């Protein structure tokens, strides 16, 4: 992948044509119903932001009740949710964007008030940030949760989404397994990097098996940015294994639970250096993110071959027409 493209250019990924390089990243809206169902306001939120972007990644959606992060989180845990999810996918695709949904289990970050159960995690270690001490997962629990991800992926396919993104970042369950901070296991699912990667790779393998005809993305938390945590060098190894399993796009973020040096937030694209390192390691497209607001900056990092797509979050939350305006600015400047 030679860095000759621009933000305006389409990208063909395994038969799916993404019309430009702007991505609406997954951001929780709190607009779903109490059981995780799609609502009218949720559909309108995404419809308004789908008009000009290349790809929309719908917010993290819980694969099982025990993995629910909070009230009014979108869900993919029940077949009863498929009709609403189908309306959401249709609304996005009708605007010309590729529609992807992120599936997630909060693990030790699950909200027991929302789930009604005690959180589960790789080890009985509280996730940094004031979360409850979880119950350690048995091997049976691990196998069961892998199945829940596969079932959620199947619902996404039935709902008509173009792709599924597995959430492996930001201190949620897959990220908890990867991080030595939260994974203290002494069995085959802990210890070495190989052990800590085992559960996330099992999830990806099953999701790929179920949704093989669709795009498969992985949200990679490429650096915990905490002492003793998961590192970018380890993330490069994981990224290679993800590509080998058939992941089509790697969506690179960072920070275990929002942890990142304050100086990072003072500049645009603060996670793009992580994405750049991952991109050098793998042969699949990579999404870069991190406080991007300037269309010229977004175009520059694509032109330079640092990333293949750019996720613009807060700017599009604030202005649903940001991507339309950005594309027009860049076209005029050509």
> 234-275: per-residue pLDDT in tens?
999 999 999 999 999 999 999 997 666 666 667 899 999 999
For 228, phi then psi, to 5°, come to 80, 10
Rounded Cα–Cα distance for residues 57 and 149 (Å): 17
Q: According to the model, what pLDDT value does residue 263 have? A: 63
What is the pLDDT, as a whole number, of residue 259? 62
Query: pLDDT for 84-122, tens place per residue?
Result: 999 999 999 999 999 999 999 999 999 999 999 999 999
User: The whole model's pTM is what?
Assistant: 0.97
Handedness of CA 135, 137, 138, 141 (dihedral sign): positive
* CATH-assigned architecture of domain 11-333: Alpha-Beta Barrel (3.20)
| CA–CA gap between residue 298 and residue 22 (Å, rounded) | 8
* Ranges of H-type helices in the chain: 40-48, 82-94, 112-115, 139-159, 173-178, 193-210, 232-244, 272-281, 295-303, 314-318, 322-333
Query: So where are the chain's domains?
Result: 11-333
């Amino acid at each position: 992948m030679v860095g000759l493209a621009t933000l305006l250019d389409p990208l063909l990924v395994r038969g799916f044509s993404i019309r430009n390089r702007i991505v609406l990243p997954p951001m929780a809206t709190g607009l779903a119903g109490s059981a995780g169902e799609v609502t009218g306001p949720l559909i309108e939120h995404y419809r308004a932001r789908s008009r000009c972007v290349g790809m929309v990644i719908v917010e993290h959606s819980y694969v099982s009740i025990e993995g629910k992060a909070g009230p009014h989180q979108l869900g993919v845990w029940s077949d009863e949710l498929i009709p609403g999810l189908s309306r959401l996918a249709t609304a996005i695709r009708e605007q010309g964007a590729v529609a992807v949904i992120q599936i997630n289990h909060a693990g030790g970050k699950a909200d027991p008030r929302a789930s009604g159960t005690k959180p589960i995690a790789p080890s009985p270690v509280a996730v940094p940030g004031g979360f409850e001490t979880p119950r350690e997962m048995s091997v049976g629990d691990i196998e069961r949760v892998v199945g829940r991800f596969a079932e959620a992926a199947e619902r996404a396919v039935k709902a008509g989404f173009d792709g599924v993104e597995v959430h492996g970042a930001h201190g949620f369950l897959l990220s908890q397994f990867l991080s030595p901070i939260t994974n203290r296991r002494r069995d085959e699912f802990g210890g070495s990097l190989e052990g800590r990667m085992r559960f996330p790779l099992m999830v990806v393998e099953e999701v790929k098996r179920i949704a093989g005809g669709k795009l498969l993305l992985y949200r990679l938390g490429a650096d915990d940015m905490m002492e003793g945590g998961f590192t970018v060098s380890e993330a490069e190894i994981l990224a290679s294994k993800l590509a080998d399993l058939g992941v089509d796009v790697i969506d690179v973020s960072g920070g275990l639970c929002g942890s990142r040096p304050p100086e990072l937030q003072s500049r645009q694209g603060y996670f793009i250096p992580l994405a750049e390192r991952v991109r050098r390691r793998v042969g699949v497209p990579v999404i870069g993110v991190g406080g991007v607001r300037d269309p010229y900056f977004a175009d520059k990092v694509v032109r330079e071959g640092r990333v293949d797509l750019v996720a613009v979050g807060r700017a599009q939350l604030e202005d649903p027409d940001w991507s339309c305006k950005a594309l027009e600015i860049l076209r005029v400047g050509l």
